[in-house]
Amino acid sequence: MVITPQGSVSVGRNLKDEVRSGVYKFKNGIIDGDEIARIRGLVAYIYGVEPSFLGILERKYGDETIGRLLGGRPLVK
């Protein structure tokens, strides 16, 4: 976690980039089961720190893709 110049908490660019890459691979079917589980865990962690990032992923990759990635189980809002 990092503190942004605005004083809010963020998970940082590197972790977000890793998750974006994983979601892209998931959407295109070029990721294995272990990596899917890892990306799910990272998404849950990021959601706990920075919930707005989930909305960014949904807008970029689609609600359906993120829903499938999370196994049809929405994160608690």
Q: Is 52 inside a domain boundary?
A: yes
**Is 59 within a domain?**
yes
**Residue of higher predicted confidence among 8 and 73:** 8
Whether 75 has a pLDDT exceeding 80, the answer reads no
Q: Which tokens in the block code for residue 16? A: 């977000």
Say if 51 falls within a structural domain: yes
The alpha carbon of residue 21 and the mean position of all alpha carbons in its chain are separated, in whole angstroms, by: 10
Length of the chain: 77
Report in angstroms the alpha-carbon separations of 21 from 17, 27, 46, 59: 6, 10, 15, 15
Q: What is the pLDDT of residue 1?
A: 86
**CB of 33 within 8 A of CB of 61?**
no
C-alpha dihedral sign at 46, 48, 50, 52: positive
Does some domain include residue 57? yes
Query: Would 23 be classed as within a structural domain?
Result: yes
Domain total in the chain: 1
Q: Which domain, by its residues, includes 33?
A: 11-69
Average pLDDT across the chain, whole number: 91
Is 41 within the bounds of a domain? yes
